Structure 1
Amino acid sequence: MISQLSWKIGGQQGEGLESTDRIFSTALNRLGYYLYGYRHFSSRIKGGHTNNKIRISTYPIRAISDDLDILVAFDQETIDLNAHELREGGIIIADAKFNPTIPENLSAKLYAVPFTGIAEELGTSLMKNMVATGASAALLGLSIDVIKEVVEEEFGRKGPAVVEKNVEAVSRGAQYILELTGGPLEEFRLAPGDGAERLFMIGNDAIGLGALAAGCRIMAAYPITPASEIMEYLIRKLPKYGGTVVQTEDEIAAVTMAIGANYGGVRAMTASAGPGLSLMMEAIGLAGMTETPIVIVDTQRGGPSTGLPTKQEQSDLNALVYGTHGEIPKVVIAPSTIEECFYDTVEAFNIAEKYQCPVIIMTDLQLSLGKQSAEKLDFSRVKIERGKLLRDLPPLAANELFKRYEFTEDGISPRVLPGDKHGLHHVTGVEHDQEGRPSENHVNRKKMMEKRLKKLKNLRITDAIKIDAPHEEPDLLIIGMGSTGGTIDEARSRLDAKTNHITIRQICPFPAEELRPYIEKAKVIAVVENNATGQLADQIKLHVGSHEKIRNILKYDGNPFLPSELYHACKELI
């Protein structure tokens, strides 16, 4: 038996690959396996090659695998594009309908299974994905019963006849592959999972759940890949808790609507990707100037312009830190795991209200859409902190206005909700005095700028930097952000050298003093990023220094790093 295995299914977008992947991986999760998924999909509504790759393990994993054990192909293009990933002795299970062939130099075994033929015998070719699911499970020596359970849940709403046909398709697929192979192949038989209950979800769903737990009750958004799943999640969930999702006409409307809702006292958010964030920049400045809380999610993808809308990249950092005109207090948080997506979203809402400023949650496509195992969430950690939000104000003196932008020692002014009869104040996007009335007085301007900018002087999120530093003076310090953490750890495990690893989770304000001692003690520093210009490395150089020790490890072809790529890149630096 083996402790881990990688499986991929490919075909044309719209052929039902998602349901195959969902049912197969859900069953594996229930059996207690650790899973890490990666979706490669075309930027079209329908058509174009797509594939889903899952790494299955009996121990925790947080990276895609270097190679591939089993490839399930619905068409010849899947074989042509993906067969090179197969390890020696790997297996291709392909639909017999297209007369599959494999490259002559490929050391892999091809099994042609009539996915479509069996499905058509059962009534519709649409069930070919269930035939493929059954064949995959049988080849791994997995019980078909748990697959059938998930199928019943997936199709139960369509009635018992549909469930019965799909269950039969699973059984027929399993039976056919076992007849071809003579039984489960020992070199592909997975050791049993531990049976433990774990979450299996994408980062976007974790962010949506975090927003719900944090008390968010309005989301205004415009659909865009890879952020749309946050909106889709909250469309299903928010109405059950008295909230709502508004699909706006564009991203400008989305962010300004969310700002307005927050001003009215309702926790509200929006989510988008690079192109949408570009449109939101002026309004983010408005939130900074009016000191209105707002939470914004940026799920990074390949740019610029439309770029690679369905591919991995981490190139929005500079835009998020510097994008708004003028100077405002702004927080940028970068979660690196599914669990952090949840907890960081809760913290983002608290920070936004406590410091009365925009908070941006920066993820990337792999973290946003890559489905993976996660430990159960601890809801006792969820606390709602609303900062200096005042209620039941005492009466003001005659002709006096509430000092909404009062000069305070910590730079954070008292806040009141509209409608409080003793909280009357003016709100404007132009510079203003303590009551909010427009002012161009140079003394007031200087004091207001200093008031706003000092709010974040001492801000540190929970684990602003995540540290794994067993060595006092490492040969190599590897620094990353977002979804790269698991891949870095796996690459480190193969290196014969003293290595430390830091994931930077607070991008702005930059946690320079926390990072500095680790930078100073390292001989060489490798900064791992999915962009072409080393944006995170530049932040380190700007705030900490040590230019001479910093080396960039960059990837910007639309794909996430593989552990082997990082291993070889790091090995050259030691």
Structure 2
Amino acid sequence: MISQLSWKIGGQQGEGVESTDRIFSTALNRLGYYLYGYRHFSSRIKGGHTNNKIRISTEPIRAISDDLDILVAFDQESIDLNAGELRAGGVIVADAKFNPTVPEHIDATLFAVPITKLAEELGTSLMKNMVASGASWALLGLPLEVFNKAVEQEFGRKGPAVVEKNIEAVKCGAEFVLEQAGGPLEAFKLAPADGKQKLFMIGNEAIGLGAIAAGCRLMSAYPITPASEIMEYLIKKLPKFGGTVIQTEDEIAAVTMAIGANYSGVRTMTASAGPGLSLMMEAIGLAGMTEQPLVIVDTQRGGPSTGLPTKQEQSDLNAMVYGTHGEIPKIVIAPASIEDCFYDMIEAFNLSEQYQVPVIVMTDLQLSLGKQSCEPLDLNQVAINRGKLVTEAPELEAGQLFKRYEFTEDGVSPRVLPGDKYGLHHVTGVEHDETGRPSESAVNRKKMMDKRLSKLNGLYIREGLRIDAPHETPDLLIIGMGSTGGTIDQARQKLEKDGLTTNHITIRQIHPFPAEQLLPFVQQAGKVVVLENNATAQLANQLKMHLGHGDKIGHVLKYDGTPFLPAEVYEACKELN
């Protein structure tokens, strides 16, 4: 028996690849396996090659695999593009309709199954994805009744007749391939999973769930890949909690609506990708100047412009940190796991109100859309902190205004909601005095700038650095952000076997940069390698700017639209050491 296996399905976008993957992985999740998925899809509604890859394991995993065990192909293009990943002795399950062939240099067993024909005999070619699923599931020797339960979950809303037809399609695919193969393949038999219930979701769903737990009751947003699933999730869930989602005409309207709603006291968020974040920049400056809480999620994708809207990249870091005109305080945090996506949203809302600043939650496409197993979430960790929100403003004399922007020792002023008795004050995007009245006084300007910029002095969020440092003076310190953590950990296992000592830090507080906490680890390492999905080493440059030690800081960059593979990280670190 084996402890892990990698499975991929490929075809043309719009012919059931996504639903096949969803049902297949749902069934595996029911058995208690740990899963990590990656979607390669085209920026078209229909057409263009797409594939979904799932890594299945009896132990927790947080990275896609270098190789592939089983490939399910709906067309020859899927074989030609993906067969190179197959390990020696791998398996291809392909539709006999297109007379599949295996490239000469590939050591793999081909099972040509009449996938489309069997589906058509059952009434419609649309069920070919269920035929293919049944065939690959049967080769693994896994119980069909579990898979059938997942089919019921997927198609139950369409009625029992549809469910029965799809279960029959699964059975046909299974019976055909088992007769061809002579039974399940012993080399691909997975060891039993622990059977424990696990959550199985994409990062965007965890972000939406975290927002609800944080008390968010309004999302204003404009759809954009790869952030749209946050909006879609909240459209279904927020009304159950008395909230709503408003689809605005553009990202400018989305962010200004969020600012206004937060001003009124409603915890509100917006979410977008790089192009949308660019449109929000002036309004982010408004939130900074008026000291309004604001939570934005930026799900990074390939840029610039439309770029690669369905591909992986981590190139918005500089835009998030420096994008606004003028100088305002803001916080940028970067979740590194599904669990982080949930808990960090709660922290983002708390931070935005505690410090009265914009908070940007920085994810990337792989973390946002890659479906992964995670342990049950601990709701005991959910705590709401609304900062200096004044419930009863002190009585004022006639003609006086509330000092909404009062100079305080920590730079954070008391905040009231509109309509509160004695809370009357002025709000404007121009420079202002303590009551909000416009002021161009040089003395006031300097004091207000110092007040705003001092708010984040010494800020260090919960686990701003995720540290795995078993060695006091390692040969290599590998640093990453976002979805790269699991990939780095897997590469480190091989590096350690080669005799290289390695530490690993995931930076989760991007801005303000946690220089004081990070510096000792950089000083102790022989060499520092920064891993990031962009072309200009944006994170590595943050290290050099804040910490120095440029002579020992190297970087590994990947910006072709695909996430890092463990083998790539291993080879690059070996070369840089």
Aligned twin of 1:462: 462
Query: Moved runs in structure 1, 4+ residues, more than 3 A?
Result: none
Q: Does 1:556 align with 2:559?
A: yes
Rounded Cα–Cα distance in structure 1 between residues aligned with 2:280 and 2:165: 49
Aligned twin of 2:141: 141
Aligned twin of 1:509: 512
Aligned twin of 2:270: 270
Rounded Cα–Cα distance in structure 1 between residues aligned with 2:524 and 2:458: 25
Post-superposition shift, 1:100?
1.0
Q: Does 1:12 align with 2:33?
A: no
Q: Does 1:282 align with 2:287?
A: no
Aligned twin of 1:260: 260
Tell me which amino acid in the other structure corresponds to 1:126: L
Rounded Cα–Cα distance in structure 2 between residues aligned with 1:352 and 1:311: 30
Q: Which deviations, in whole Å up to 9, do the C-alpha atoms of 1:155-186 show, x marking residues without a partner?
A: 11111111110111111111111001000111
Show the 5 A alignment for 1:56-455: 56-455=56-455
Aligned twin of 1:478: 478
SS at match of 1:298: strand
Aligned twin of 2:572: 569
Q: Does 1:498 align with 2:501?
A: yes
Q: Which deviations, in whole Å up to 9, do the C-alpha atoms of 1:58-114 show, x marking residues without a partner?
A: 111111000111100011111111111111111110011111112122111111111
Q: TM-score, normalised by structure 2?
A: 0.99
Unaligned runs of 5+ in 1: none
Rounded Cα–Cα distance in structure 2 between residues aligned with 1:180 and 1:548: 60
Post-superposition shift, 1:153?
1.4
Tell me which amino acid in the other structure corresponds to 2:500: A
Post-superposition shift, 1:392?
2.2
Tell me which amino acid in the other structure corresponds to 2:107: S
Q: TM-score, normalised by structure 1?
A: 0.99
Rounded Cα–Cα distance in structure 2 between residues aligned with 1:394 and 1:525: 54
Rounded Cα–Cα distance in structure 2 between residues aligned with 1:264 and 1:453: 24
Rounded Cα–Cα distance in structure 2 between residues aligned with 1:15 and 1:54: 18
Rounded Cα–Cα distance in structure 2 between residues aligned with 1:138 and 1:47: 29
Q: Which deviations, in whole Å up to 9, do the C-alpha atoms of 1:432-463 show, x marking residues without a partner?
A: 00000000000000000000000000211100
Rounded Cα–Cα distance in structure 1 between residues aligned with 2:459 and 2:219: 26
Post-superposition shift, 1:252?
0.3
Q: Does 1:533 align with 2:536?
A: yes
Q: Which deviations, in whole Å up to 9, do the C-alpha atoms of 1:452-481 show, x marking residues without a partner?
A: 000000211100101000000000000000
Determine what percentage of the aligned residue pairs are the same residue: 78
SS at match of 1:191: coil
Post-superposition shift, 1:46?
1.1
Rounded Cα–Cα distance in structure 2 between residues aligned with 1:262 and 1:307: 32
Rounded Cα–Cα distance in structure 1 between residues aligned with 2:136 and 2:379: 36
Rounded Cα–Cα distance in structure 1 between residues aligned with 2:62 and 2:429: 44
SS at match of 1:246: strand
Tell me which amino acid in the other structure corresponds to 1:24: F
Unaligned runs of 5+ in 2: none
SS at match of 2:440: coil
Moved more, 83-92 or 329-338: 83-92
The count of aligned residue pairs is 574
Tell me which amino acid in the other structure corresponds to 1:407: F
Post-superposition shift, 1:561?
0.4
Rounded Cα–Cα distance in structure 1 between residues aligned with 2:178 and 2:379: 45
Pick aligned residue for 1:543 from 534, 541, 546: 546
SS at match of 1:389: coil
Q: Which deviations, in whole Å up to 9, do the C-alpha atoms of 1:12-36 show, x marking residues without a partner?
A: 1111111110110011011111110
SS at match of 1:547: coil
Rounded Cα–Cα distance in structure 2 between residues aligned with 1:168 and 1:39: 27
Q: Which deviations, in whole Å up to 9, do the C-alpha atoms of 1:496-524 show, x marking residues without a partner?
A: 21100000000000000000100100010
Tell me which amino acid in the other structure corresponds to 1:329: P
Rounded Cα–Cα distance in structure 2 between residues aligned with 1:185 and 1:535: 47
Tell me which amino acid in the other structure corresponds to 1:303: G
Rounded Cα–Cα distance in structure 1 between residues aligned with 2:114 and 2:241: 47
Post-superposition shift, 1:391?
1.0
Tell me which amino acid in the other structure corresponds to 1:332: V
Rounded Cα–Cα distance in structure 2 between residues aligned with 1:51 and 1:92: 14
